[in-house]
Amino acid sequence: MDAFEYGHLEAAQPSLSFRWGELSNGCDLKGASLYPLKCVDLFAGAGGLSLAAVKARIQVVAAVEFDKHACATYRANLIDSSEYSDTKPELYSLDILDLPPEKLRKAHFPGGNTCDVVLGGPPCQGFSVHRINSSGVGDPRNKLILRYFDFVRCLSPKIFLMENVPGLLWPRHRDFLEAFLRQSEEAGYRIIGPYPLDARDYGVPQRRKRVFVLGIRQDVLFDDSVWPPQQTHGDAKARQRDSSLKPWATASAIFAVPAPDCDENNRHMNHSPELTKIFQATPPNGGSRHQSGRVLPCHDGHDGHSDVYGRINPNQPGPTMTTACVNPSKGRFVHPTEPHGITVRQAARFQTFPDNFVFKGGLMAAAKQIGNAVPVRLGEILLRAVSHGLGIGPDA
């Protein structure tokens, strides 16, 4: 069977098979004219949004990322594999706090050249839904949102697109969000959003809710009707209201296709014999912690953490891929039928990365990169909507 692609999620969707210099419709990207927009990807991680941009015909001229393993992944997949030296991005392997925005502007947009789009998802742990009470309010990582806007102000792009977790909208983080929105307006940007979007509603086989903020420079014409993009998938109730919607993609396709031969990401955690027996006893296709018999002292007396050590149900969208998505002790990350956690490759498929996108740094480093990424499919849909909003159609 062929390597995992979009087409294994639903036959009507374009293939996710990716090679630098190719699009799903087979067009050659060697000509720069096929890149009508240029972007910068901040907090680029492993390159999920950069890959989405390429698929949406947006040239990534520069990316900024500090994590050494994410940089190795980005470089291997989006730079070293590039067939065309005139279109590959330059990667800045630096702490964004140590990179002057002016340096990036002078290097890539001299002489009045324009940056069209700034992308990025500042680290979101400070806003995580796993934080409770007032936790996260003083987290210094929250201030990276404001650093993101330092680059927006300097580069003055037509559009900026920022992604973060739903916790960004919680009342206790209002000061950070309001400061960001206020700076945006003072710099001449109008904001559409913040909008919480669920990746399931766009054909991604995982429930994943994230917040997106779209900023549009005041002098730029943009068709607001395209943002946010109309959902394409839904549950039974949503499809009753809108018959054009397709059913949510399920996890079944993730496990139906064997991993490519010699895939270094076809690895799962090594479990103890005791834990392997627990997984063998867990009912297939969705068994929970209670059914597995894995009840620790910290679980006794309450019903929380029911997904821990649970199996993924292939008949439903998968769970949110977190930075610990290969560790069954951190969520419902056990293979639907086998007595072990999911592999890095399977986790990457939930994020709609193609099978020839290889994650570097080892098992846990790869899981962190995958959990931090924007699903490639969702990113492509969002960035195509940005292009359409600017009046650039699919055949531009």
So which residues are the catalytic ones?
Answer: 124
The type of residue at 118 is: V
Take residue 284 and report the two structure tokens written for it.
Answer: 């297939």
DSSP 318: B
CA dihedral 363, 91, 214, 149 (to 10 degrees): 110
Of 160, 168, 159, 152, nearest in space to 210 by CA: 168
31 Cβ contact partners less than 8 Å away, ≥ 6 residues apart: none
Distance CA 130, CA 383 (A): 29
What stretch of H or E contains 71? helix 68-78
What stretch of H or E contains 209? strand 209-217
Residue 100 CB neighbour total at 10 angstroms = 11
Q: What are phi and psi of 389, to 5 degrees?
A: -65, -30
| Cβ proximity of 344 and 366 under 8 Å | yes
| Cβ proximity of 148 and 191 under 8 Å | no
